[in-house]
């Protein structure tokens, strides 16, 4: 079992810099979370972007596409800011022969209480279990990009009706 994890930034990787009294995006936490999980397959974490997902544009999404294509790994997890995660998932749907699962976190992985480890566990499981395609794992549920929205007020991902 071989898994490739692409980190695009977002809340999951946020750190707190006292010098700025501000949050910023740090090294991908996927590395530490995979160690903690005792993952016994092979994996590689690649930091592609370090952006708040609201700041991502088309060229950023192209960079993610290129990173997926540059690797022949068939099991891909992408950690991503939640605000435009669905949009990026849509942009990757034309990629074939790969199971791609996007996830992120509502609370930084560096917090004591965070959904990051749970979400990454789900994404790692799904990229092994699902047929080729693009999926989202957030709030403990499996979503299909074209039928998903982030309800920003409630802070949850939902199926479109």
CA–CA gap between residue 9 and residue 27 (Å, rounded):
9
CA–CA gap between residue 142 and residue 130 (Å, rounded):
10
Contact segment (CB under 8 A) with a copy of itself among 56-64, 65-73, 88-96, 123-131 equals: 123-131
Q: Is 83 in the site for a copy of itself (CB under 8 A)?
A: yes
Q: How far is the CB of 95 from a copy of itself (least distance, A)?
A: 20
DSSP codes joined into one string, 44-110 = EEEEEEEE-GGG--HHHHHHHHHHHHT---SEEEEE--STTHHHHHHHTTT--S-EEEEE--SS-TT
Q: Is 113 in the site for a copy of itself (CB under 8 A)?
A: yes
- 86 alpha carbon, distance to own chain's centre: 10
Q: Is 130 in the site for a copy of itself (CB under 8 A)?
A: yes
Rule CB under 8 A: choose which of 108, 134, 145, 148 binds a copy of itself.
Answer: 108
Q: How far is the CB of 82 from a copy of itself (least distance, A)?
A: 7
Q: Is 112 in the site for a copy of itself (CB under 8 A)?
A: yes
CB 106 within 8 A of CB 140: no
Q: Is 34 in the site for a copy of itself (CB under 8 A)?
A: yes
Listed in sequence order, the residues at least 6 apart from 57 whose beta carbon sits closer than 8 Å to its beta carbon are none
- Catalog residues that contact a copy of itself under the rule CB under 8 A: 1, 3, 11, 14, 16, 18-19, 21-23, 33-34, 36-41, 43, 52, 54, 82-83, 106-108, 110-115, 117-126, 128-130, 137, 139-142, 152-153, 155-158
């Amino acid at each position: 079992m071989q898994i490739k994890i692409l980190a695009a930034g977002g809340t999951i990787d946020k750190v707190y810099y006292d010098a700025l009294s501000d949050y910023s995006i740090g090294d991908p936490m996927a590395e530490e979370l995979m160690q903690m999980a005792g993952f016994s397959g092979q994996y590689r974490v690649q930091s592609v972007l370090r952006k708040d997902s609201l700041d991502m544009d088309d060229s950023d999404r192209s960079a993610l596409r290129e990173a997926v294509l540059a690797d022949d790994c068939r099991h891909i997890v992408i950690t991503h800011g939640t605000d435009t995660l669905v949009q990026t998932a849509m942009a990757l749907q034309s990629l074939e022969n790969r199971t791609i699962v996007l996830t992120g976190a509502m609370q930084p992985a560096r917090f004591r209480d965070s959904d990051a480890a749970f979400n990454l566990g789900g994404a790692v499981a799904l990229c092994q279990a699902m047929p080729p395609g693009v999926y989202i794992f957030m709030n403990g549920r499996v979503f299909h990009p074209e039928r998903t929205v982030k309800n920003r007020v409630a802070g949850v991902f939902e199926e479109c009706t």
